[in-house]
Amino acid sequence: MKFIKLVVFTLDNQKYALHLSAVETIIRAVEFTVLPKVPKIVNGIVNFHGKIIPIFNIRKRFNLPDKETNLKVC
């Protein structure tokens, strides 16, 4: 039996999944640097362990309304 490894996430009560091989890393929401003149789907960038990572707003990709990001750690 072959298992498919997925990363599952929810947007507005709708579940989505990506193949694990398509995901490099998952990090908690952090403050990021906003960049001028970038596509609407790009929120900005963050320095993660010395590597510059783009921050994408997948809500915009699915034409969903913006939602405030909670930066508090539970």
pLDDT value of residue 73? 59
- Is residue 14 assigned to a domain? yes
Q: Where are the beta strands (DSSP E) in the chain?
A: 6-11, 14-19, 42-48, 51-56
- Is residue 19 assigned to a domain? yes
The number of distinct structural domains making up the chain is: 1
- Is residue 68 assigned to a domain? no
Cα(26)–Cα(59) distance, integer angstroms: 16
pLDDT value of residue 7? 95
pLDDT value of residue 74? 52
Note down the domain range covering 21: 6-61
Per the structure block, which two tokens stand in for 52?
Answer: 């510059």
- Is residue 49 assigned to a domain? yes
Mean local confidence (pLDDT), 45-74: 85
Cα(41)–Cα(50) distance, integer angstroms: 23
Global model pTM greater than 0.75: no
Q: What is the pLDDT of residues 1-57, one digit of tens each?
A: 889 999 999 988 999 999 999 998 888 888 899 999 999 899 999 999 999 999 988
Q: Which helix (H) or strand (E) holds 60?
A: helix 58-61
